[in-house]
Structure 1
Amino acid sequence: MEENMNETLAMLRGAADRTSALVKGVSDDELGLPTPCSEYDVKGLINHMEWAISLFESVGSGGGFLPPKDYTGDFPERAERMLAVWERPETWEGVSEAMGGLPKTVLARMALTDLVAHGWDLARATGRHYEVEEETAAALRAFSAQMAPTGRARGAFGDEVAVPDDASSLDRFLGLIGRDPAWKP
């Protein structure tokens, strides 16, 4: 488990750093732009990201399910707090009752999925580039292939979007979770 923990933690750190840098770069005049998540503009997307990162901090530390809150603009700080929780080996043990008894290792992969998917959404919406390491994209693709039916049933993933067989692992991951890698505002 320690190897899986270390690998996933490194991926989480990379995704959190990359996504935090994107959030920091968003200007006030970009907050109303549309995103690949049709229910969110950029401000709504960042608000959702703030909630999700705080949720993964809470459930990682054995806390409860958090209700969404209003946008505060402190995503990078929340990401650091979430990472601090997941850096503790005991965080990876057991299950989260608040998340229906899901193993904590699954929650870590869910946090990674959220960070990368919404980081990509934000980059796409604001005309910035977003790339992840091949290892991260491949791990997300494999995880999402397993989680897709449940994710779709719970509304976390959209219908699969067909991508070419020779598409990158990132694009194939995005297609699995219902994102169109060719989306443009």
Structure 2
Amino acid sequence: MQQDPRPLVRAALDRARRIVGGVSIEQLAGPTPCPEFDVRTLIGHLAATLERSVAIGTGHDPGTLPEFLTSENDDWPAVLDAAADRYWQVWDDDTLLDKPVTAPWGTFPGRVAMFMELDELLVHGWDLAVSTGQDADADPELAEAALEIMKITLPEAPREGFPFGPPVVPARDAGPTERLVNWVGRESAPWTGHPS
């Protein structure tokens, strides 16, 4: 897999920024498809995945970092932007794409770690969008590309060591973003209204 993931990650991050920017203060305590997170902590978790990717890219243990970031004044777009800036300070380096890096689920080329971050951005972006009544569908070409990559990097089974459940059978009318979240084990039907 020699594709440069950076354009895809940038597009997914732009989408995540738009979604986070569309969340109102009143929605921050609402539920999400991740039962352990409300909207506020899910945004904090999404930002934390970028920080953990920084740790992976710089050879540090991502497990030493918090699972989610916090914001004293709930300025979540600023929190996400700051984490994204730190992410690109590391991952804009061409040499990192093929350099072996170590994450909790194994050692592999840096580009694979970037593809995993792409999945985090798209799936948690979907989580936040459906939780807050926003358009949950990513650009179809972006979502299709991410889905094809995830089918290569994330096996259908077994998934021991990966932070994903077994795949969910998508609804017949599911678009590519919903099929992506189904592939990583997300039950989308309760949030989309699509029959499973």
Aligned position for 2:70: 71
Same amino acid, percent of matched pairs: 30
- The reply on whether 1:15 has 2:12 as its aligned counterpart is yes
Shift, 1:174, TM fit: 1.5
Q: Note the 1:165-184 alignment, pairs <5 A.
A: 165=172, 167-184=174-191
Aligned position for 1:154: 161
Q: Note the 1:15-164 alignment, pairs <5 A.
A: 15-65=12-62, 66-68=64-66, 69-72=68-71, 73=76, 74-99=79-104, 100-146=106-152, 147-149=154-156, 152-154=159-161, 156-164=163-171
Shift, 1:175, TM fit: 1.1
CA-to-partner distance for each residue in 1:39-84, whole Å, 9 max, x for gaps? 1111121121121111112212333324215423301221232133
For 1:119 and 1:151, the matched residues in 2 are separated by: 25
Looking at secondary structure, tell me which structure has more helix per residue.
Answer: 1
| 1:97–1:180 CA distance, 2 compared to 1 (3 A) | closer
Secondary structure (helix, strand or coil) at the match of 1:174 reads helix
Shift, 1:132, TM fit: 2.1
- Normalising to structure 1: TM-score of the pair? 0.85
| Alignment gaps of 5+ in structure 2 | none
| Alignment gaps of 5+ in structure 1 | none
CA-to-partner distance for each residue in 1:126-151, whole Å, 9 max, x for gaps? 11113223332122212322314478
Query: Which segment is superposed worse, 148-157 or 44-53?
Result: 148-157
| 1:55–1:164 CA distance, 2 compared to 1 (3 A) | same
Query: Which segment is superposed worse, 109-118 or 126-135?
Result: 126-135
Question: Is the CA contact (8 Å cut-off) linking 1:138 and 1:170 kept in structure 2?
Answer: yes
1:120 maps to amino acid: W
- Please, what is the CA RMSD of the aligned residues? 2.4
The number of aligned residues is 182
Question: Is the CA contact (8 Å cut-off) linking 1:96 and 1:102 kept in structure 2?
Answer: yes
CA-to-partner distance for each residue in 1:17-36, whole Å, 9 max, x for gaps? 11012212322221111001
Shift, 1:106, TM fit: 0.9
Question: Is the CA contact (8 Å cut-off) linking 2:8 and 2:142 kept in structure 1?
Answer: yes
